[in-house]
Structures are given as C-alpha cells and as structure tokens.
Homo-oligomer: A and B are copies of this chain.
Amino acid sequence: MVSRPSLETATASDPDHFVEPLELGKRVKEIRLTKGWTLEEVSKRTGIARSTLSKIENDQVSPSFAIVQKLIGGLGMDLPQLFVEAQEHSMAGRRDITRYGEGEPHPTATYEHELLSYSISRKKMVPFKTIVRARNFSEFKEWVRHDGEEFLLVLSGSVVFYSEFYEPVELNEGDSVYYDATMGHIVVSLSPEDAQILWVVAR
C-alpha cells in the first residue's frame, strides 16, 4: 500500500495556514467515554461508520462539516460545546466579598463608579455602584452603548433614565430597570444630592 501523508504531515507542509488543531479528536473521544459509549454505539446514533469515528478520534482525518453535524446530533451536544475547550468555569467554588465603600474606584466626568468584586476576573456579571454626577443630558457627547444587558437599581436619590428608543423616565429610590445595553443609555441625577445607583452588566 502506498502510505498517505498523515494529517500532521499535510498541515506541517503548509505552515502559512496552520491553525490550532483544536484537538477535535481528543474532545470527541472524551465525550464518548464520558457517556460510556463504544464506537459502534456512536456509529448507530450518528450514522457515521465506526472506522470513520476511529479516524476522527485519532486525528487521521479532518471531518467534513456534514459529518461534524451528525456527530453533534448523535452525541447530544451543541456546536460550541464541541469546540470551545472544556473550560472548567473559573468561578468554581469561589466567592468574593466587597465591603461598603471598598470597591475599586473608577471616576469619570459624569459618573463615579465603584467596581465591586473586582478581584475575581472572568465572571459573568460585573457589578458596580455609581454616584451619578451628571445633571444634564448634554454633559454626554454621545449615547453610552456597549455589548450585553444591564440591570440598574436606584439606591438613593432620584435619576432620569434616558434611552435611545424610549421617552426619558424618572426613577426613584428602589426603582429598577433592565435593558439592552447596545441601545444608547444615559443616567442623570435629579435629586439635590447626587443619586447613587447599582449597576450590573452581563455580556
């Protein structure tokens, strides 16, 4: 038999377009073994030949997208799961306390932010308390706008919440609003003292 080049060889011969192999095979095998399935069982579930599955697990082929889709169906997982590294979540069993007034300060011209739980990175939410210095819509050059969703709770004082597609609305102590942060949004104080709010952002 004429030996065919292995995947590795083929890839190495084309270094310009080498991409992190993503260890697809390893990942698939891992999932299969976790569920205690044999190649034959996965073959029945997916309609992919046993031999093909073996090659995929050993990185002897670069499966076509059609095959990858069958795999996903058969292994009962969604696409991101297959590729995104089995990232043990960074929060595992952790907690982070922030005492009153001891957050990380982030002052700006219009807002005075105090970042809470700043010692844990890579978390799903970012909570911060903000003293709203701004009194006027015009103090902002532009709508504030960013990815994700935002929750706002008025802790003290009262504010006006401006948002791109809605009329401005007054919010008093204890009122809250949940909104799409890609929509322009701006908050100004209405009370004599600067209002204080809690903000939580999630991407």
Contact = CB atoms under 8 A, between A and B. Distances in A.
A148 B124 contact: yes
A127 B101 contact: no
Contacts of A155: 155
* Stoichiometry, copies per complex: 2
Nearest to A80: B80
Given A91-B180, A202-B202, A149 B172 contact: no
A176 B79 contact: no
Most buried by B among A100, A173, A178: A178
A39 interface: no
A84 interface: yes
20 contacts: A16-B47, A17-B46, A17-B70, A19-B73, A62-B64, A63-B65, A79-B79, A79-B80, A94-B180, A95-B166, A98-B176, A100-B174, A100-B175, A101-B174, A116-B178, A123-B178, A124-B148, A127-B151, A151-B200, A153-B198
Closest A-B pairs by Cβ, 6 of them = A100-B174, A117-B178, A95-B179, A62-B66, A17-B47, A91-B180
Given A17-B73, A80-B84, A99-B174, 7 more contacts: A14-B47, A62-B64, A62-B66, A98-B176, A98-B177, A127-B176, A155-B155
Interface of A: 7, 11, 14, 16-17, 19-20, 22, 24, 46-47, 62-70, 72-73, 79-80, 83-84, 89, 91-101, 116-117, 120, 123-125, 127, 148-149, 151, 153, 155, 161, 163-166, 169, 171-180, 182-183, 198, 200, 202-203
